[in-house]
Amino acid sequence: MKKTGAQIVIDAMLKEGVDTAFGILGGAMLPVFDVLYDAPLRFILTRHEQGAAHMADGYARATGKVGVCMATSGPGATNLVTGIATANMDSVPIVAITGQVFTTMIGNDAFQEADVTGITRPITKHNYLVKDVKELPRIMKEAFHIARTGRPGPVLIDIPKDVQIAETEYKYPKNVEMRTYKPTYSGHPQQIKRAAEAIHQAKKPIIYAGGGVIISGAAKELAELAKKANIPTATTLLGLGGFPETDRLSLGMLGMHGTRYANYAIMESDLIIAIGARFDDRVTGKLDEFAPHAKIIHIDIDPSSISKNVRVDIPIVGDVQNVLRELNKLVRKGQYAPWHKKIREWKRKFPLTYEDNGELKPQFVVEEIYKATRGEAIICTEVGQNQMWAAQFYQYTKPRTLLSSGGLGTMGYGFPAAIGAQIGCPDRIVFDIAGDGSFQMNIQELATAAINKVPVKVAILNNGYLGMVRQWQELFYKKRYSHTSLAGGPDFVKVAEAYGAVGIRVEKKGGVRPAIKKALSIKKPVVIDFHVELEENVFPMVPAGKAVNQMIGGMA
Amino acid sequence: MKHTISALVENRSGVLAHISTLFSARGFNIDSLAVGETDDPAVSKMTIVLDADERILEQVVKQLRKLIDVIKVQDLTGQNFIDRELVLVKINATPATRSEIMQTVDIFRAKIVDAKPRSLTVELTGDADKINGFLELVGEFGIKDIVRTGKIAMARGNK
Ligand SMILES: Cc1cc2nc3c(=O)[nH]c(=O)nc-3n(C[C@H](O)[C@H](O)[C@H](O)COP(=O)(O)OP(=O)(O)OC[C@H]3O[C@@H](n4cnc5c(N)ncnc54)[C@H](O)[C@@H]3O)c2cc1C
Ligand SMILES: Cc1ncc(C[n+]2csc(CCOP(=O)(O)OP(=O)(O)O)c2C)c(N)n1
Ligand SMILES: [Mg+2]
């Protein structure tokens, strides 16, 4: 059957199971949007393309499916860039479809032309400029395949307007045929055997679990390994929810703002079992001093993650779930009694805590959200102190319940991601734990949430500052608060109302619980503006360039 | 240490850009990169020479393999391989030096491809040692211009 390029794009999306897409159109996308007009697909018109990219990302992280965003050529496409880079750093499967000027005009500085494949090359897993409509079916098929398989990531397809208009004989390919792209899913049996032996020989083993556990859907297998082998388990920011924090084996988050006991444990361990984690510098601290006594097992689907930052003794390339299933068959119950005793001691001496002086503390707000949602909500975060408090004071027990921009640290991520997550999971409670600075970076999406009746809740931990940066100025720049004050910011309650959402202000500790309860009872987007203590800091903390057991602050 | 990497890639527009973007984005410094079609017009072969320690080299190879358009990557260093480079050099030539230059050309089995009253242009192929040796000798006469293709390399043997 003959179809136009535009029809092929939409048909391919439907065949790939896409039910929702996010974006903004423009001249170079008119043909595609004309087909979209009566396609059985929910399209969410956002107010900024960055919002669309983060929504696709939040949708993908919450559901595990591929998120789709669409934009027109030139400025539409360049507005997607931050969202694509965010997804790329955190291995999130999204497909971005952009319009491009006519093939005959490419390279001529045509109206609204930008070299989008050039710009996005280093921030996508792969990208395509479609020059011939005949290639479009194959490219659509490959793009979705590449985005969701192996180490997931964003794929961009740039489609000139004439290619959208052109017709071709169309049949959607059943299979992908790529000689170059074949991710390794099953781990090498010999390496898995070596790993099991190393576990049996260890005296102070620790599991360091990352985002790869969640991506792989391997929370169950991870819990089985930890329990069967009796190994304390810490997760990264992106691994939170991959292992229940309520479990006695949990060490919570490790790294710069992780728990003292997780960091002490990793520094003293003699065996690190790294599972779908990439030894980010926020986790390792000073590299030369990282875990000096430890042998390292590293399970990762991406060979380039292995031995990138630290030398690995037993590399296992493969999918976490596959590898753990095999490994779990081999491991025996471990004893490690003195090790567990030591860790219990650290946990008792150095719990995560904050000074409760009766004021409205941001940590308290997070704890109350945890209680009110019984740990069942999907929590999105912005970036900064709010993000770290959300990581520290909410207890994550299930995968895909914390969506946070870890690798790129994108302010403005959380709110649109929450909208995407809520659209993907309409029956869940979705909270964006926000900062007053970050929220303002994509605040326009209040319109998207209100108009589409997306009942997300935004909890602004309003400290009147670009708080995380202020904290660094306080600690390392003699309190010279150069341009970090947000004082005089907008009245968030009025802003919310102006957009058709509900706004609630909370200034006292006692108001926190009722406000959250009220927000949860309203089937609309709600913004709660918590006026928290202005100069509260995130502790404990590893100062830059220090080993991760050199933590400051946060002592009871 | 110098490493020679051979990569088989899809012959599509954008592939070279992908690879060079990768090198610059990750701060890998390359000495040379040569690329051309193979017997299969859909596939090109690249030879990349770079100076790197083992750890960086491992990342380079892994990152290259990760690119969707890259079919195969091989580190030839330490293996038995043949490498060649082609150079064109324009050398200052006076009546007094002309014959000496021509002798050097003979010794290296190079070829004179252009002769002008004040210069000789020489074509030379060979491995790095041969080319460097030649350039050192003719350098004394003064080099007016030079262009090198970058190294191409192939493993020896039946495979
Ligand atoms: C202000 C701020 C503070 C931060 N502080 C901390 C902190 O204190 N602690 C902390 O941990 N982080 C912190 N981060 C986040 C940090 O920057 C990194 O994003 C994070 O540590 C990376 O997590 P990860 O190692 O789990 O890697 P991810 O980025 O989640 O990578 C996942 C890894 O798993 C692999 N993988 C993917 N799928 C599979 C599969 N199916 N099978 C096997 N492997 C797979 C990938 O190849 C990759 O190597 C902070 C970020 C910000 C912005
Ligand atoms: C887009 C972007 N710009 C700048 C930064 C640098 N930065 C990191 S945290 C932060 C402050 C965030 O302020 P706010 O959202 O109010 O959060 P708080 O730390 O106060 O909780 C800034 C500016 C960033 N991460 N992202
Ligand atoms: Mg703030």
Q: Which atom of ligand 2 is the closest one to the Cα of A486?
A: 16
CA gap A142, A139 in Å, rounded = 5
The predicted structure's pLDDT at residue B157: 87
> Residue A507: pLDDT band by 50, 70, 90 thresholds?
very high
- The pLDDT score that the predictor gives to residue A329 is 98
- Is residue B13 pLDDT above 90, yes or no? no
Q: Residue-wise over A377-409: b if at least 16 C-beta within 10 A, else e?
A: bbbbbbbbbbbbbbbbbbbbbebbbbbbbbbbb
Q: Give the other-Cβ count within 10 Å of A165's Cβ.
A: 14
CB neighbours of B137 closer than 8 A, spacing ≥ 6?
B104
Closest residue of chain A to B71, computed from CA coordinates: A180
Which among B25, B62, B68 has CB closest to A181?
A: B68
**pLDDT tens digit sequence for B26-82:** 888 899 999 999 999 999 999 999 999 988 999 999 999 999 999 999 999 888 999
The full set of domains in chain B, from first to last, is: 2-75 (3.30.70.260), 82-155 (3.30.70.1150)
Q: What are the tokens at A65?
A: 């499916």
Domains of chain A in sequence order: 2-169 (3.40.50.970), 189-345 (3.40.50.1220), 362-531 (3.40.50.970)
Task: Indicate the average pLDDT of chain B.
Answer: 93
User: A187 by DSSP, 3-state: which?
Assistant: coil
Task: Compute, in angstroms, the gap from residue A462 CA to the centroid of ligand 2.
Answer: 12
Residue A444 sits at the chain B interface (C-beta within 8 Å): no
Query: Torsion-angle region of residue A272: left (phi > 0), alpha (psi -120 to 50) or beta?
Result: beta
Average pLDDT, chain A: 97
Phi, psi (degrees; rounded to nearest 5) at A410: -90, 110
A52 C-alpha to ligand 2 centroid (Å): 20
Give the relative orientation of helices A320-330 and A189-201 as an angle to the nearest 10 degrees: 50
**Optimal mutation site among A100, A106, A117, A180, interface B, most CBs of chain B within 10 A:** A180
Cβ A307–B69 below 8 Å, yes or no?
no
Identity of the residue in B21, B62, B71 whose CB atom sits nearest the CB atom of A122: B21
Residue with the two structure tokens 């050097």: B104
For residues A430-456, average pLDDT: 98
Q: Environment class of residue A7 by beta-carbon count within 10 Å: exposed (0-12), middle (13-18) or buried (19+)?
A: buried
Residues found in chain B: 159
List the end-to-end C-alpha distance of chain A, in Å, as a whole number.
71
- A8-52 residue pLDDT tens: 999 999 999 999 999 999 999 999 999 999 999 999 999 999 999
- Please state the ipTM of this predicted complex: 0.87
pLDDT at B25: 87
pLDDT > 70: what percent of chain B? 99
- C-alpha span between A260 and A541 (Å, rounded): 9
Mean pLDDT of A402-416: 98
- State how far the Cα of B51 lies from the Cα of B48, in Å rounded to an integer: 10
Closest of A350, A200, A199, A335 to residue A263, by C-alpha: A350
Distance A475 CA to ligand 2 centre (A): 17
CB B6 within 8 A of CB B45: yes
pLDDT band with cut points at 50, 70 and 90 for residue B158: confident
List pLDDT tens digits, range B80-128.
999 999 999 999 999 999 999 999 999 999 999 999 999 999 999 999 8
Torsion over CA of A271, A276, A281 and A283, rounded to 10 degrees?
-60
Q: With CA atoms as reference, report the closest residue to A446 among A490, A384, A486.
A: A490
- Residue of minimum CA distance from atom 23 in ligand 2: A466
- Angle of helix A385-393 relative to helix A362-373, nearest 10 degrees, comes to 50
With CB atoms and an 8 Å threshold, state whether A122 touches B68. Answer: no
Q: Which of A122, A180, A304 sits opposite B10 (nearest CB)?
A: A180
Q: In what order do the strands lie in the sheet with A67-71?
A: A42-45, A20-24, A67-71, A94-100, A155-160, A126-129
DSSP string for A61-126: HHHSSPEEEEE-TTHHHHHHHHHHHHHHHTT--EEEEEEE--GGGTTS--TT---HHHHHGGGSSE
Cα–chain-centroid distance for residue A554? 26
Tell me, using a 6 A CB cutoff, whether residue A232 lines ligand 1: no
What is the reported pLDDT for A275? 98
Euclidean distance between CA atoms A304 and A470, whole angstroms = 35
Residues A235, A264: contact at Cβ < 8 Å?
no
pLDDT tens per residue, range A224-265 = 999 999 999 999 999 999 999 999 999 999 999 999 999 999
* B62 and A CB contact within 8 Å: yes
Torsion of CA A281, A286, A287, A292, to 10 degrees: -130
Beta B119-126 vs B81-92: how paired, if at all? antiparallel
**Cα separation of B84 and B148, whole Å?**
11
**Alpha helices by DSSP H, B26-127:** 54-66, 98-107
Residue A390 Cβ contacting ligand 1 at under 6 Å: no
Cβ contact A273:A300 at 8 Å: no
Q: Cis link prior to A160 (omega < 30° from 0)?
A: no
Which letter does DSSP use for residue A503 in this model?
Answer: E
For the record, the structure tokens of A476 come out as 């390392």
Share of chain A above pLDDT 70, in %: 100
Tokens of A134: 């005949």
Contacting residues of A for B22, CB less than 8 Å apart: 122
Residue B159 has a pLDDT of 67
> Which residues of A does the annotation mark as catalytic?
49, 111-112, 161, 468
pLDDT of residue B27: 87
- Please report, as a single letter, which amino acid is at residue B90: K
**Element holding A193 (H helix, E strand):** helix A189-201
- As a whole number of angstroms, the distance between CA A57 and CA A533 comes to 32
A388 lines ligand 2 (CB under 6 A): no
Residue A556 has pLDDT above 80, yes or no: no
A385 alpha carbon – ligand 2 mean position (Å)? 8
Which of the 8 DSSP states describes residue B125?
Answer: E
Task: Name all contacts of B19-28 with Cβ < 8 Å and 24+ positions apart.
Answer: B19/B46, B19/B64, B19/B67, B19/B70, B21/A121, B21/A122, B22/A122, B22/B63, B22/B64, B22/B67, B25/A122, B26/B59, B26/B60, B26/B63, B28/B52, B28/B56, B28/B59, B28/B60
pLDDT tens digit sequence for A175-220: 999 988 999 999 999 999 999 999 999 999 999 999 999 999 999 9
Using alpha carbons, select from A268, A149, A109 the residue that is nearest to residue A204.
A268
Decide if A342 touches B, using CB distance below 8 A. no
Q: What is the mean pLDDT of residues A160-181?
A: 95
How buried is residue B122: exposed, middle or buried, by Cβ count under 10 Å (0-12/13-18/19+)?
buried
Token pair for A428:
């869940």
State mean pLDDT over A138-147. 98
Question: What was the pLDDT predicted at A232?
Answer: 98
Give pLDDT, residue A455: 98
pLDDT value at residue B14: 84
- Contacts of residues A131-135 at CB distance under 8 Å and 24 or more positions apart, as own/partner, are A131/A103, A131/A160, A131/A163, A131/B13, A132/A163, A133/A4, A133/A5, A133/A8, A133/A163, A133/A166, A133/A167, A133/A168, A134/A168
Residue A101, both tokens:
């000027």
CA distance B102 to B111: 9
Mean pLDDT of A366-387: 98
* B17 interaction partners in chain A (CB closer than 8 Å): 118, 121
Instruction: Please judge whether A181 and B62 are an interchain contact, meaning their C-beta atoms are less than 8 angstroms apart.
Output: no
> Is B25 within 8 Å of chain A by CB?
yes
Residue A87 confidence (pLDDT): 98
Q: In what order do the strands lie in the sheet with B30-37?
A: B30-37, B43-51, B2-10, B70-75
Please name the residue that has the structure tokens 């060490």.
Answer: A251
CA atoms within 13 A on the CB side of A347: 15
Angle at CA of residue A26, ends A24 and A29, nearest 5°: 95
